[in-house]
Amino acid sequence: MPHPELAALMQEFATLDTILGANVFQVRAYERASQTLETTPEDVAKLAGEGRLRELPGIGEGIAKKIEEYVNTGRIVALEELRKKVDPAILALMRIPGLGPKKAKMLVDELGLKSVEDLEKACREQRVRPLKGMGAKSEEKILAGIASMRVTRERVPLYEAREVAAKVVEHLRLAGGATKAIPTGSLRRWKETVRDLDVATVAPDPAKLMKAAATMPGVVEVIAHGETKTSVLFGQDRFQVDVRVVPEDSWGAALQYFTGSKEHSVRLREKAVKMGLTVNEYGVFKVKKDGTKGERVAGATEEEVYEALGFQWIPPELRENREELEAFAKGKTPPRLIERHDIRGDLHCHTTWSDGVASVEEMAKAAERRNYEYVAITDHSPSAGYAGGLNVDRIKRQWDEIAQVQEKFSVRILRGSEVDILADGKLDWPDKVLEKMDFVVASIHQRGKDDRTHNTNRLLRALEHPHVHLIGHPSTRRLGLRPPLDIDWEAVYDAAKKHGKALELNSSPERLDLDEPKLARAAALGIPIFIDTDAHAPAMFDNVEFGVMQARRAWLRAEQVVNTKTWKEMEKWLRAMRG
Ligand code: DGT
Ligand code: CA
Ligand code: CA
Ligand code: ZN
């Protein structure tokens, strides 16, 4: 199986060597190794353990040693040495789309640049155009690249941040001796994107912990290194990670403080002041008559911090200063928001019949393992050529297969489809096919021109269609990759209400579509919501957690989500939809 991490490290070798002027053969060797690691079906770590890496194409003695070192120790000393030799300004410039290592080095050398900002200034002052191989056009291109870099990389999608967080936490435990390490901030609050990562820790030797934070594999720059806080930039994207170490008895206060949100904590502190208390990351304290800090009343756990301020413990995903401080005041019964175990089925998934990687049987098995009562197989329709869309003949064969597989399972397997909403709003299956399906998800895939009236009309027509149950990933956005379509949402909600149709919260972590405000609005209007995963593999059913957390952030209760129904209730709901 591919090893993207090692592939990236080999690519980094190639890049650094290019900057340092190593010979082209050496650079090519790293590039070839990187390609191999990116695509190999073999288990690289296992091969390394058996000393068999040299059997892989493009992996020679030198590179094999480095891979083994990484597998055994989590680092490659030679790479760390190489990084130290390269001017960080060059690496910073290389983040600009279209700027390779050679050009970046030339610009830094010729103009004495220290940062992207310096290069921006140089372009504005037309100091780049006289350089060899450059011109007025190059200045324009660089400025455009800088602008696009700032737009796309200011916030990282939650799932990417969680992957970094998992590595960071593991490293802080193993190498830093952390007894507690939890990612806080917007990540703990399940915000859909994260600007930077804030990790809170407790460790018997704080200096060792801080050192471990500064020397994590993947760190490209240390921007602050103190006794209680270390900030580093991580990976090629230079994602910022702040690590704090606090005393054990301040753990709860630190968790609360660094989880935020800022707005939530500001109101919490106002409440404290009224009670003659003060709160910081070390605890809740009494305020003495002379205004100085007095006795500490709480801090070891988050529960006691909230308790001291007159609240029940508030789940992190709700800490946004909406209604949580009212709802979770001591003595109140907070609303019972949806939880993962409320979900009883998934009505949007794909199999090898279109672009999934598992069979109907494997997906059914995965659904049954999760104790689901039903699952809809919703492969793509004929126009979705890019995703292996089915034709009439093949969908009939799929129905036969579903009938056979059903015999082996108690989970109810529904015949479904994710049918494309075509440019004119028509559906991509004939009605006589649609009417034989148990569940129809209608989605826009080919976006075409992004015109508000045009987009809205496509969704309105689909919502009018008698056989449609649900609009899939309604805005079509992909986090960090593609903005949502421009749509008149109130018109969509009106139509959904009028026709009794449902809207999806697609839990695929790169979609999370509908977003939180739209979800809250649609649910408040009484529009039925489905939380589906759009799974293309069995394990992807677990992405439902992203959807459930987003739904909780929108304060959804289980009864507002259709796939919390038992199969019996769901059957009734489906029947009612067909009138
Ligand atoms: P982000 O990083 O923009 O996705 O969102 P957060 O919420 O993680 O924001 P961040 O990283 O600036 O701060 C993390 C938490 O630490 C924040 O939710 C509240 C707390 N915090 C940070 N700076 C301050 C501050 O100056 N005062 C107070 N009271 N809290 C702060
Ligand atoms: Ca943060
Ligand atoms: Ca931060
Ligand atoms: Zn889709």
In a domain, 362, yes or no: yes
CB of 198 within 6 A of ligand 1: the answer is yes
Distance (Å) from CA 286 to ligand 1 centroid: 24
In a domain, 561, yes or no: yes
Q: What is the pLDDT of residue 150?
A: 67
Stretches where the chain sits below pLDDT 70 are 148, 150-153, 579
Q: Are residues 56 and 124 in the same domain?
A: no
Q: What Cα–Cα distance (Å) separates residue 140 from each residue in 115, 131, 134, 250, 567? A: 18, 14, 11, 52, 59
Distance (Å) from CA 187 to ligand 3 centroid: 11
Q: Are residues 237 and 183 in the same domain?
A: yes
| Nearest alpha-carbon partner for 577 in 508, 479, 500 | 500
Q: What is the pLDDT of residue 503?
A: 98
Q: Are residues 500 and 413 in the same domain?
A: yes
Distance (Å) from CA 561 to ligand 3 centroid: 34
Q: Are residues 111 and 125 in the same domain?
A: yes
Distance (Å) from CA 253 to ligand 1 centroid: 14
In a domain, 423, yes or no: yes
Q: Are residues 200 and 176 in the same domain?
A: yes
Nearest CA to ligand 1 atom 1: 195
Q: Are residues 422 and 505 in the same domain?
A: yes
Q: Are residues 142 and 272 in the same domain?
A: no
Nearest CA to ligand 1 atom 18: 260
CATH number for the domain including 58? Answer: 1.10.150.110
Domain that holds residue 142: 88-152
CATH number for the domain including 102? Answer: 1.10.150.20
- The tally of domains found in the chain comes to 5
The pick from 153, 198, 281 for probing ligand 1's pocket by mutation, whose C-beta has the most ligand atoms within 8 angstroms, reads 198
CB of 256 within 6 A of ligand 1: the answer is no
Q: Quick one: which ligand is closest to 511's CA?
A: 4
The pick from 158, 186, 270, 284 for probing ligand 1's pocket by mutation, whose C-beta has the most ligand atoms within 8 angstroms, reads 186
In a domain, 461, yes or no: yes
Q: Quick one: which ligand is closest to 243's CA?
A: 3
pLDDT in tens, 284-321: 999 999 989 999 999 999 999 999 999 999 999 999 99
CB of 262 within 6 A of ligand 1: the answer is yes
CB of 260 within 6 A of ligand 1: the answer is yes
The protein residues having their C-beta less than 5 angstroms from ligand 4 (an ion) are 443
60 vs 47: CA distance, rounded Å: 14
Nearest CA to ligand 1 atom 25: 262
Q: What is the pLDDT of residue 151?
A: 57
Tell me which of 38, 65, 84 is where a domain ends. 84
CB of 258 within 6 A of ligand 1: the answer is yes
Nearest CA to ligand 1 atom 24: 262
Q: Quick one: which ligand is closest to 259's CA?
A: 1
Q: Are residues 17 and 140 in the same domain?
A: no
Q: What is the pLDDT of residue 405?
A: 98
CB of 265 within 6 A of ligand 1: the answer is yes
Distance (Å) from CA 317 to ligand 3 centroid: 17
Atom of ligand 1 nearest to the CA of 258: 16
Nearest CA to ligand 1 atom 19: 260
Distance (Å) from CA 390 to ligand 2 centroid: 44
CATH number for the domain including 266? Answer: 3.30.210.10
Cβ neighbours of residue 396 closer than 8 Å, sequence gap 6 or more: none
Residue whose structure tokens are 């969509």 = 492
Burial of residue 507 (CB within 10 Å: 0-12, 13-18, 19+) is: buried
Tell me which of 245, 269, 298 is where a domain ends. 245
| Nearest alpha-carbon partner for 198 in 158, 240, 237, 148 | 240
Q: What is the pLDDT of residue 218?
A: 87
CB of 160 within 6 A of ligand 1: the answer is no
Q: Quick one: which ligand is closest to 387's CA?
A: 4
Strands (E), 138-267: 156-157, 180-183, 193-194, 197-202, 219-225, 229-234, 239-245
Sign for the CA dihedral angle at 71, 74, 77, 82 comes to positive
Distance (Å) from CA 473 to ligand 4 centroid: 7
Q: What is the pLDDT of residue 309?
A: 97
In a domain, 417, yes or no: yes
CB of 185 within 6 A of ligand 1: the answer is yes
Tell me which of 50, 84, 118 is where a domain ends. 84
In a domain, 361, yes or no: yes
Q: Are residues 170 and 142 in the same domain?
A: no
Q: Are residues 68 and 93 in the same domain?
A: no
Helix, strand, coil share of the chain (percent; to 5): 50, 15, 35
Q: What is the pLDDT of residue 316?
A: 98
The pick from 190, 243, 258, 278 for probing ligand 1's pocket by mutation, whose C-beta has the most ligand atoms within 8 angstroms, reads 258
CB of 281 within 6 A of ligand 1: the answer is no
| Nearest alpha-carbon partner for 243 in 277, 201, 292, 205 | 201
Distance (Å) from CA 231 to ligand 2 centroid: 12
Q: Are residues 423 and 542 in the same domain?
A: yes
Helix crossing, 4-19 with 61-73: angle to 10°? Answer: 120
Nearest CA to ligand 1 atom 10: 185
Element holding 107 (H helix, E strand): helix 101-111
Burial 87-103 (b: 16+ CB within 10 A, else e): eebbbbbbbbeebebeb
In a domain, 516, yes or no: yes
209 vs 244: CA distance, rounded Å: 9
pLDDT in tens, 169-221: 999 999 999 999 999 999 999 999 999 999 999 999 999 999 999 999 888 88
Q: What is the pLDDT of residue 153?
A: 61
Q: Are residues 481 and 455 in the same domain?
A: yes
In a domain, 332, yes or no: no
Distance (Å) from CA 576 to ligand 4 centroid: 25
